[in-house]
Amino acid sequence: MPSVLPIGRVVATESKPSTPHQFYFRTEADVAVGIGSLVRVDGEGRTVYAVITDALAYDNGTGEPARLFLAAVLRQLPESPLQAVPIAPVHLASEEDVGPALRMDAFTGGARPTGIPVGVYAAGGRESPVFLDCDFLLGPEAAHLNISGVSGLATKTSAIAFLLGSIFQTFPRHKGTVAAVCLNVKGPDLCFLDQPGEISADDRRIYARLGLAAEPFADVRYFAPLKPDGVNLNTLRTHEALAGRTEPLIWGLREVLDFAEVVLNRDDIDAKADGFIDFLAERVVGREYRDDLLRPSPFRVETFTDLEEFFRAIFDYLERGRGGEVWRSHHVATIRKIRNRLGNISTRCKGLVTDDGAANDLPWGRFADRAVYAVDVAGLDPLAQDLVFARIVSQLRERLERRDLGVDHVIVFVDELNKYAPTDGPDTYVRRMLIDLSERGRYLGLVLFSAQQFRSQVLRRVTGNAGTALFGRMDGEELATPGYATLSAATRVKLATLPKGELMLRHPHFTHPIFVRFPRPAMLSGRDGVERFPPAPELAFADAVARQLRALDRRVVLDAVRELVDGRRDGDVRRALAATRRERPADALAFFRAALGRRVEPEVAGARRGVAAVRTADDPYVP
């Protein structure tokens, strides 16, 4: 309902007239409005909604200070013909005004609403829910979301976690299914999304105001690479109580060969090297390859060890002088370069990439609706992180194109975007992939949610394609960059002093940015999670194997596993463990024992008996 009394009146002079896009209004000193408040003007048969962007005060010589506010027009009704704002009373926007002011009435009503709660607008003691249009958040009209703010104060990760929970609870069923892939690139930030956390009574009130349940994600699967020993998980989520929902992320030759460009130096990739990599991927790896010049029996290259055997056969053939310096149109220098680079991948990405080919991957083709797949790469070096990002996004894109992923929409969350798509960085494989994802992903249902401290340091083609943008507390130097020139000085000051839990929001339906509050996500933060579930110490080889088997079957006994692996080669144990993880049998220990095979006891050679010398009378040396 319209407010009973106005808070002020539009003022205009010849030098400062009201226009169709902005106007000044005057208020009394005790009126509780400020930067970001929404107001309404009724007059001359028109209704104008606006947001306050600046404030002025001066002494008019009467002893009473004059207060003026500058407001930017959000919407006029009727919208045509577009006219200057009338000289009329100004009211503080009521809850009923917020919807039409932000054009939310176009997508929150009707038989098929598409609104996603993002927070509450609060001013003058009033709160109103604010919604995003999922057609402009997850596609197909627009897509992608980017959030900026200083580390620790902008609550970027918390905002993304809350919004993902809101999407999972309110995404319309007629729009299809949705899942999320979250890449944890630093510390324990996203390691406890499935654990409930403490929230305040005020946060619970906001959840109720938005019509949301305050609860953690119900379906979360964690993936993390192994440490170099091949059995301990390289993650902070190793507490015994959480081990059952954390799986190893292990890739072999076939999984990484298509992304060799990610791990090779830019100078290594030329037409000749690229052609030889394509030859390996299309004709050798994963297939039976026969070349009688190399050896009579065919090659079956499945692992990095098999690939090294294949390269060795080529070099032996060339060293025998039969092929000179060329094998099948590929020069020996090119072959050696690719062999050296590929052969070192399993060493440079040890724990993620294995020599023996026993892969354990995300459940491609079996993604579940409203499920989160969290991949913890915080413990990997930057090269391995790039490999994980490139392969996961490529697999998502290919399967969404074929419509065999299991869901219709996938949200990929990446923090520290300035690392992967810097403004002045080299033209890397990952950078090109991010550009392609931001420009074309919405047509497939592949959506990028990204975060960084400094938006100005991220490639414009990536941030510019984000239909929705959030801004937490900002650094003063960042606000001085040209990208924030469209904001008023007062709005920039407010951005520099925003409290935790408050954000500035841009969305295609909103003519100007507005400020919203969001509740703390109802799950454990990374810091609280580490305190409640401290990481387990790195275990000995046999104990780490037992812990992984117990994650599959709680009946597994540590002493039985120790007895099984005692004296076995580590490689054999890892292969048996990988087979057990892949099959997930009802009796994990029995399956592991069978996969490990019969123990071969070493034979102890007895002492040899001496052979007596043959003595003859004809031997001149016999004494």
Does residue 1 fall inside a structural domain?
Answer: no
Look at the alpha carbons of 217, 221, 224, 229 in this order and tell me if their dihedral is positive or negative. positive
The total domain count for the chain is: 4
Between helix 429-444 and helix 382-402 the angle, nearest 10°, is: 30
107 vs 70, 110, 116, 305, CA distance in Å?
29, 8, 10, 57
Q: How far apart are CA 506 and CA 466, in angstroms?
A: 10
Percent of the chain at pLDDT exceeding 70: 93
Residues 417 and 524 in one domain: yes
Judge whether residue 286 has pLDDT over 90: no
Judge whether residue 472 has pLDDT over 90: yes
**What is the pLDDT confidence band of residue 578, given thresholds at 50, 70 and 90?**
confident
pLDDT in tens, 203-229: 999 999 999 999 999 999 999 999 888
Residues 398 and 458 in one domain: yes
* Phi, psi dihedral angles at 234 (to 5 degrees): -90, 70
> Would you state the pLDDT for residue 183?
94
> Would you state the pLDDT for residue 64?
75
pLDDT in tens, 124-134: 788 999 999 99
> Would you state the pLDDT for residue 155?
81
Does residue 147 fall inside a structural domain?
Answer: yes
**What is the pLDDT confidence band of residue 610, given thresholds at 50, 70 and 90?**
low
- Tokens for 5, please give them: 């009394």
> Would you state the pLDDT for residue 139?
86
- In this prediction, residues 466-480 reach a mean pLDDT of 93
Query: Which of the given ranges, 517-531, 590-604, 608-622, has the highest pLDDT on average?
Result: 517-531
Q: How far apart are CA 148 and CA 449, in angstroms?
A: 11
Helix or strand run (H / E) with residue 2: none
Residues 397 and 512 in one domain: yes
Residues 374 and 515 in one domain: yes
- Tokens for 605, please give them: 């050679």
Does residue 593 fall inside a structural domain?
Answer: yes
The domain that holds 407 is classified in CATH as 3.40.50.300
Residues 525 and 545 in one domain: no
Residues 519 and 543 in one domain: no
- Tokens for 534, please give them: 């401290």
Q: What is the mean pLDDT of the chain?
A: 88
Residues 403 and 494 in one domain: yes
> Would you state the pLDDT for residue 1?
42
Q: How far apart are CA 52 and CA 36, in angstroms?
A: 5
Judge whether residue 292 has pLDDT over 80: yes
Does residue 113 fall inside a structural domain?
Answer: no
- In this prediction, residues 467-471 reach a mean pLDDT of 95
Enumerate the β-bridge partners of residue 50: 39, 73
> Which residues lie below 8 Å from residue 107, measured CB to CB, with a gap of 6+?
113, 114, 115, 131, 133, 135, 509
Q: How far apart are CA 512 and CA 39, in angstroms?
A: 13
**What is the pLDDT confidence band of residue 2, given thresholds at 50, 70 and 90?**
very low
Between helix 541-552 and helix 558-565 the angle, nearest 10°, is: 130
Between helix 588-596 and helix 570-583 the angle, nearest 10°, is: 140
> Would you state the pLDDT for residue 350?
85
Alpha carbon dihedral 300, 305, 311, 312, in 10-degree steps, equals -110
Does residue 122 fall inside a structural domain?
Answer: no
CB 248 within 8 A of CB 361: no
pLDDT in tens, 81-115: 999 999 999 999 999 999 999 999 999 988 899 99
Judge whether residue 28 has pLDDT over 90: no
The one-letter code for the residue type at 187 is: G
More confident residue, 346 or 601: 346
**What is the pLDDT confidence band of residue 600, given thresholds at 50, 70 and 90?**
low
Residues 576 and 607 in one domain: yes
Does residue 227 fall inside a structural domain?
Answer: yes
pLDDT in tens, 179-191: 999 999 988 999 9
| End position of a domain, from candidates 476, 494, 529 | 529
- In this prediction, residues 375-380 reach a mean pLDDT of 92
Judge whether residue 614 has pLDDT over 70: no
- In this prediction, residues 584-595 reach a mean pLDDT of 87
**What is the DSSP annotation of 425-436?**
S---HHHHHHHH
**What is the DSSP annotation of 19-74?**
-SSEEEEEE-TT----TT-EEEEEETTEEEEEEEEEEEEEE-SSSSEEEEEEEEEE
- The range of the structural domain enclosing residue 586 comes to 539-623
**What is the DSSP annotation of 309-365?**
HHHHHHHHHHHTTSSTTEETTEEHHHHHHHHHHHHTHHHHTBTTB-SS---B---TT
> Which residues lie below 8 Å from residue 191, measured CB to CB, with a gap of 6+?
184, 222, 235, 236, 237, 374, 376, 526, 529, 530
